[in-house]
Structure 1
Amino acid sequence: GGCCGTTPDYIKNISEMIRSSHISCNINIDTDGDFNKTPVKNSAFYCGKEGKKLIAVELAPPFDSDADKLMDAAHYLKEKGVDVLTFPDSPSGRTRADSILIAAKVSRQTGMCVMPHLCCRDKNAIAIRSQLLGAHINGINNFLVITGDPIPQMIRSSVKSVFNFDSVGLMNIIEDMNEDQFKYEPVVYGGAINQGRKRLDIEISRVKKKMEAGAAFFMTQPVFSDEDIKRLSTIKKE
């Protein structure tokens, strides 16, 4: 095409010059190469297979557009040898910056392994799949999958929950995407354990379902009592 001052004659002459040239471009493609990619290596959870204990720290995304404090904390934690930074998905049903976008920013600027939380409260299957695709394109391949906290009572009249599925259902979605869209670079995902549940048998059943859905690891809330340690030991044995 042409811009100011050009005429069809200019374009015609340039076109004829290009057609009469003998310049070619040869691209050599190695058809004998191995196109079976190995799983992503940015996941610190692969270190667990070697018996290394990992240190994961949760950083809550900001309520506003200022991420300076969070970034300062991320750089500080990197210097202290933290293995993984995790980012909750609007915990307690209060709006915070998107966990995946914050994780991508931290990953780009620190080079650390990041793991956003992904909950079921706010998105249907279409939105979840879209987020996972976008995250994967930006190198985010680790997720903590949770059902999510309910919407606070005070805003339930104006804000509605989605909850089309729970954490097990979301894990099944990721497992399907790992077999299809992400088969060469599968996502590593895990779930939560509530060792404080009154009916421990129900929690054990939930953990087994998460394992069947492909959960590669589990995380708990902080453990402060001997009783919690015993309950976790029981869950692990089962």
Structure 2
Amino acid sequence: MAFQPSKLGTKEHWDKVYEEELANFKEIGDEGEIWFGEESVDKMVEWTEENLPPSDDLSILEIGSGNGTLLFALAEAGYSQKVLSGIDYSPDAVNLSQAIAATREMNTIQFNVCNFLAEDTPTLPKMAGSTLEAWDLLLDKGTYDAIGLGVKDDEGKSPAAKYPARAARLMKPGGFFLITSCNFTEDELKTAFSACDTGLQYHSRIQHPTFSYGGKSGSIVSTVAFQKKSQIQM
């Protein structure tokens, strides 16, 4: 699906959102919005528990971690804070997540400012500086949606076109990518991320509540998991 550029796809918008959320947290302790609601967070945590049970050997990265809700939920589910990392291109999103982490005594979760499409992703201390094929699990809850609303390039391509290959290059062979989206259907996600040059293949899906309209049924939110092939087939 092709989307027209929107302010939701601009860094300026998200900088303003998180500046306000950080101010609210400091003033009244409000941790900010939970994108797609608590149920979607719970479902992503449950999927992770079933497919990658807690282990100190794991490395988990959330792309566009916002206020850190998903990573905090994983820590509460028993995942070591030392295996959890979040990146966001908005400095105040990182400031907010770090401030919340301090109140929850989860300071060892790593949060860094990083533009995923343009910069190398900071790794965990235990990963010895490796930047490629380093992560067991990548998570995305709404970030691909926002990127898809960014300004198109001179060829008319959305910045989201760069996302699947950049995600795949960070994943270990056999690693997973779990994405929740409200702008893209399950089939659209499969088409984008299962392209042959990514080395990713469809693994599973999370069922969300469905609705019916005009004789068709569907979900407002789609969550799909992909796995990186151990060896890319030529």
TM range (shorter): 0.3 to 0.5
Relative contact order higher in (CA < 8 Å, ≥ 6 apart): 2
Q: Which has the higher strand share?
A: 2
TM-score, reference length from structure 2: 0.34
TM-score, reference length from structure 1: 0.34
